[in-house]
Homo-oligomer: A and B are copies of this chain.
């Protein structure tokens, strides 16, 4: 490691690193790069973020970034892909051992929401697929599709268990997934509720949305509307 400046000591010549951001807590330079890049990509978008900004945030020069990542695009891909994997794992872990469909939905949405709050920079970057180059895009989309398949299966099970209370599985799956992912669009630290509490609320919102109120259900029986939408990606297709 060069330069007398140690990774642990901050605030001397490092212009960024406010101390509270996750970048300050990261140990290795590589981890700090990822953390800083995620925050900047989140705040400014990929294209509007420069390698020099990332470098300044980490406390090094732009050229030094290339000792850790071969390109800006690869940096974006690693953030997106690793986040997708991590989120998937967190959700599967939360659902482990839970068998009742409605409880599985709670576990899924709760864990997903919580992850999207706690890791909100990464999560938002991973949700923005537009800047990924074709090959990288394919890989991340495949990951995401597998992930959303889990949700669709839960809703299918709920539909079966409740004799068709879910009005349209495909649309509901998309709606619930986007709702939970976008929690990071409005969440801010220091608010009235913490991540856990919001995650619990979101889980209940999802259950309510999926099953509907009793009034809705009786109304639906009277006027049969859309079918259950089983076995389709959505009303449209996925994005490419």
Contact residues of A with B, CB < 8 Å? Answer: 43-48, 130-131, 167-168, 170-172, 174-176, 178-179, 181-183, 185-194, 197-198, 200-202, 204-216, 225-226, 229, 232, 234-239
Contacts and interface: CB of A to CB of B under 8 A. Distances in A.
A211 B213 contact: yes
A140 to B, nearest CB: 15
Given A178-B179, A187-B235, A235-B193, A172 B205 contact: yes
A93 B236 CA distance: 27
Contacts of A168: 193, 201
Contact of A130 (B45, B172, B236, B239): B45
Given A171-B202, A207-B212, 17 more contacts: A44-B47, A44-B130, A45-B47, A170-B192, A172-B201, A186-B234, A186-B236, A187-B234, A191-B236, A192-B229, A194-B235, A200-B225, A204-B212, A205-B209, A207-B213, A208-B209, A208-B211
Contacts of A204: 167, 212, 216
A186 B178 contact: yes
A149 to B, nearest CB: 14
A177 B170 CA distance: 20
Contacts of A211: 208, 213, 215
A131 B44 CA distance: 7
Nearest to A214: B214
24 contacts: A45-B47, A45-B130, A48-B130, A167-B201, A172-B201, A172-B205, A178-B183, A178-B186, A179-B179, A181-B182, A182-B182, A186-B236, A188-B235, A188-B237, A191-B234, A191-B235, A192-B229, A192-B235, A193-B235, A198-B235, A204-B212, A208-B208, A208-B209, A208-B213
